[in-house]
Structure 1
Amino acid sequence: MVATLKDVAGAAGVSVKTVSNVVNGYEFVKASTRERVLSAIEELGYQPNLAARNLRAGRTGVIGLAVPSLSFSYFAELADAVLEASRKLGFVTLIEQTGGDRDAELELLRGSRLSMLDGLLFSPLGMSTDDADSLNVDYPLVLLGERIFGGPTDHVVMQNVNGGYAATAHLIDSGRRRIAVLGAHVAERVGSASLRLEGYRRALADAGIDTGDELVVFREGWHRTDGAAATRELLDSGTPFDAIFALNDELALGALRVLHQDNVRVPDDVAVIGFDNLIEGQFAMPSLSTIDPGRADIAERAVAALIERIGDRDGHIGAPRMIEVPFTTVARESTLSMSAVTTAHSS
């Protein structure tokens, strides 16, 4: 039989009201009483009626996640992490794809479909800082990504400049000096590409390495096909290079394919590092070195911030928060010799 509040109250030796207070997070409950109630809940397998609780609180128990496209592996893996993080906190997540189109993103923000949601996690691609005022909405909103800064909402960001610096420094530390970068965007003012490129240039400058613009390959798209085309362009140009920093892992995977086709040995002739730490990078041949931007951490912090805003009816949290997530450098076979990889695995 399904356990009820009354069953839990009887097992814990408290009133039904006390059990309800514990379940609903009421803070003024003695620690010893709370512990007895939680133990009884676990023992009986009691499941709170989330639908009824949300109805009483004026909520749906549903949040939204809007991303450009799930065809980008990064956003697919981010969506998976958001689904898991929200599930743990008792919320359901609905996913919307905008295609990275500015008009579609603006329409989503003011669309009637949001009435069924308690709040929205929003990762724009077509919008820019000029559109920051459009984020002034009457529902909880948390911004993701690097297209808009200084807006009126909580914003969870990755360390693009520092990550780009670390990727380039990793290549420099392995003895590389002619480091090409794939995926720069022409005339981009604010965005992942420009920020990661800034980190790349800072690392070269700090190392005293002066490389020309011929090592910067521009591509608006960041798919594998774009990485393959950029690498082909680089090889055909005759420009000497001994390393590639691809501004995301999909570009890097495309680069690995073309290098293999041309019998360029990785990492002996050319070392390759990406950015995003996609799962498939672990299974590339050779496995792909990358920057892990903290995707799971981004999801958890963004969901937690949104749910906190949903519960903050009286506005106690205050001003918008910038939440920066730490990153790590993941060194694999595409930048390390096999002997170095073996040593790293055994240490």
Structure 2
Amino acid sequence: MGASLRSIAERAGVSLATVSNVVNGYRPVAEPTRRRVQQAIDELGYTPNLSARHLRRGRTGLIALAIPELTNPYFAELAEMAIREAAALGYTLVMESTDADADMELALLGGSRRHVVDGLILSPVRIGRTEVLARRDALPLVLIGEGVSDVPHDHIAIDNVAASRAAVAHLVALGRRRIAFIGARGHDDRQSAQLRLRGFRAGIAAAGLPDRPELTVVTDRFGRADGSAAMRRLLTLAEPPDAVFAYNDLIALGAMRAATDAGRRIPQDVAVVGIDDIEEGRYANPSLTSISPDKAEIARLAVRRLVDRIEGRPPRPPYDVQTPFTMAVRQSTAGARSGFRGPTQVEHLG
């Protein structure tokens, strides 16, 4: 490796220290000099030994992303983006599935992977602010999602209350008046299910619609089967809903299947909106209208902030950032009534 660095220095006409600064990112290098060094790197085909670099710094070169379930397409898409971002920064991202289990989340929070990884990105579901505040482990940590906020750690999420209000406003604008919410769950006001329920209720109130408790359905989990069972229950009501806002796209897809199996037309009889904008929803028939978080930005911010913490540059206070979202309007709401035809329409909302 040293010989390679010397060759680059000779080719670029700079010192070995300058080459080291460019390759390792130790110190800023003037842009013309950096370009000259990079050209020499490209010409000589130099590839840095990342494992050796991390070992010299007392690191593993691994960071962990811990998510509630690997089978959820939202987390799968987010993980793929995070893997690419980590690789661009010279790190390897490894996956952990907590299965939304409190003990697993607490173990990770307490440093159970301290000697394996250099840092942790965690999407908590079962633990809350109290558990995070009680943490004593010094492993760099970034929180994503809405499970925990207002803590001394970097936290990245969308504004779930605003997103849910936007979904309800969209349905109200289509003339829907009996709007159901599927996916209520949890007792912590900061949990995403509760935040989305809060936004749903705020949207209903803003539209001047009556609060109908029978149109709010609690689910045990957040999958297709849960959405299907909830929709079947709603369809037994004397006044079934003419629209559904689902906690996520998987619940929405299950609800749509149950509705069509029961002979309901989507969106003529029941309009449906989800959250996550997963690929499956785009190719469903009918395609699913969904609140679309900026997954790429969430992944980028989470990985870069974690690497900053690991490498200690520059020291910054923890921040709590809300990433933007849009609404991807598709056939499940924009069908016959609006004359929807062709590709996705997108409303920029956040």
Under a length normalisation based on structure 2, what TM-score does the superposition of the two structures give? 0.92
Segment drifting more, 129-138 vs 285-294 = 129-138
C-alpha distance after superposition, 1:275-307 (max 9, x if no partner): 011110011110000001112211110001000
Determine the C-alpha separation between the residues in 2 that align with 1:290 and 1:212: 23
Instruction: Give the direction of change, closer, same or farther, for the CA distance of 1:22–1:187 in structure 2 (3 Å limit).
Output: closer
> Secondary structure of 1:176's partner?
coil
Say if 2:56 is the partner of 1:56. yes
Say if 2:304 is the partner of 1:323. no
Determine the C-alpha separation between the residues in 2 that align with 1:304 and 1:226: 35
Segment drifting more, 268-277 vs 109-118 = 109-118
Question: Which residue number in structure 1 is paired with residue 335 of structure 2?
Answer: 337
> Secondary structure of 2:236's partner?
helix
The answer on whether the counterparts of 1:159 and 1:293 sit within 8 Å (CA) in structure 2 is no
| Alignment map for 1:1-347 (pairs within 5 Å) | 4-185=4-185, 187-312=187-312, 317-337=315-335, 340-342=339-341
Tell me by how many angstroms 1:196 deviates. Answer: 0.8
Q: How many residues align?
A: 343
> Secondary structure of 2:205's partner?
helix
Instruction: Give the direction of change, closer, same or farther, for the CA distance of 1:282–1:191 in structure 2 (3 Å limit).
Output: same
Structure 2, unaligned stretches of length 5 or more? Answer: none
Under a length normalisation based on structure 1, what TM-score does the superposition of the two structures give? 0.92
C-alpha distance after superposition, 1:23-44 (max 9, x if no partner): 1224343322112112222333
Determine the C-alpha separation between the residues in 1 that align with 2:94 and 2:246: 31
Segment drifting more, 3-12 vs 194-203 = 3-12
> Secondary structure of 1:189's partner?
coil
C-alpha RMSD of matched pairs (Å): 2.1
Instruction: Give the direction of change, closer, same or farther, for the CA distance of 1:318–1:89 in structure 2 (3 Å limit).
Output: closer
Determine the C-alpha separation between the residues in 2 that align with 1:154 and 1:71: 26
Instruction: Give the direction of change, closer, same or farther, for the CA distance of 1:112–1:343 in structure 2 (3 Å limit).
Output: closer
Determine the C-alpha separation between the residues in 2 that align with 1:293 and 1:328: 7
Structure 1 or 2: more helix by fraction: 1
The answer on whether the counterparts of 1:135 and 1:151 sit within 8 Å (CA) in structure 2 is no
> Secondary structure of 1:59's partner?
coil
Structure 1, unaligned stretches of length 5 or more? Answer: none
Determine the C-alpha separation between the residues in 1 that align with 2:345 and 2:83: 35
Tell me by how many angstroms 1:175 deviates. Answer: 1.7
Instruction: Give the direction of change, closer, same or farther, for the CA distance of 1:123–1:18 in structure 2 (3 Å limit).
Output: same
C-alpha distance after superposition, 1:65-102 (max 9, x if no partner): 11122122222222222112111111101111122111
The answer on whether the counterparts of 1:163 and 1:293 sit within 8 Å (CA) in structure 2 is no
Tell me by how many angstroms 1:186 deviates. Answer: 5.6
Instruction: Give the direction of change, closer, same or farther, for the CA distance of 1:103–1:18 in structure 2 (3 Å limit).
Output: same
